[in-house]
Amino acid sequence: MTESPTFIGSIGLLSLPNWIIHLSSTLEWGIAALMMFRYGMITGRKDIRMFGISMLPHWVGSFFIIAYHLTGDSIPLLLDLSETVNLFGSAALLYAVLTLLKKTSNPTPTGYATCLATIMIAGKPQSYLGEDIFDAILQVSSIVYITFLVLLIVVRKRDPEVFSPLTVAGFWFVLVFISFTVFSIYLATEVRGNLSLSHDDLLHGLAESLLTLSNLMIVIGIHRQTVWYEKLAKKAESA
């Protein structure tokens, strides 16, 4: 059994509302990267500007997903390319947060120790001999991103000027999106009998809406942090 989109109007396997959700997610992440770079300009901090730039690979990866859906999920290579780009994106975020860690008063050894401990806890990739290389890429990317999330909290505690709590929560909320997506794939294929999650428009839309919410949290968090810093700077000038 396969289900067609539940809403009127569709492109490929996705309904129009589902496309709006996907495009919103992509747009929000791009805006977040731009806002973070601008915040780095306002604060005069190169490391914050670098963090904004490090968000761009994930943004590029989202366009491969859009292209994949535009083809009706008929070109799996686009999905694999997205996973590959996202690996570089997670590595870029990890490098950027380590750079931020260097600017804190407490030197870097603790940060690197946290990084190593997280990788050990998450588990190293298994032997992928005979397995799809893109499965390995996906696993490594997940480990790198989780490490980034842990260090994000460390940076927030040591240097509150960089991130608002909402921004940090937004990055962590991506894990909720991933978990729900995995569960939705199981429901769509094993329980509801669809060929893939894309064939179940309702579950697909619900899963993607969590990413939209995550990106929105990041955007609002950066905006709040910018407003907070500008008010602080004005007070310092008037004092």
CATH number of the domain where residue 105 is located: 1.20.1070
pLDDT confidence of residue 239: 67
236: in domain: no
pLDDT confidence of residue 106: 53
Q: Which two tokens stand for residue 95?
A: 């490098």
pLDDT confidence of residue 4: 45
1: in domain: no
Chain center to CA of 97: 14
Mean pLDDT in runs of 10 for the chain (239 residues)?
46 87 96 98 96 97 94 90 93 95 63 46 39 72 92 94 97 96 94 91 95 98 96 84
Task: Tally the domains of the chain.
Answer: 1
| First and final C-alpha spacing in the chain | 70
**Domain of 23, in residue numbers:** 11-231
6: in domain: no
185: in domain: yes
220: in domain: yes
Helices (H), 103-196: 109-122, 133-158, 165-186
- Cα–Cα distances (Å) from 154 to 24, 92, 142, 159, 161, in that order, read 30, 17, 19, 8, 13
83: in domain: yes
86: in domain: yes
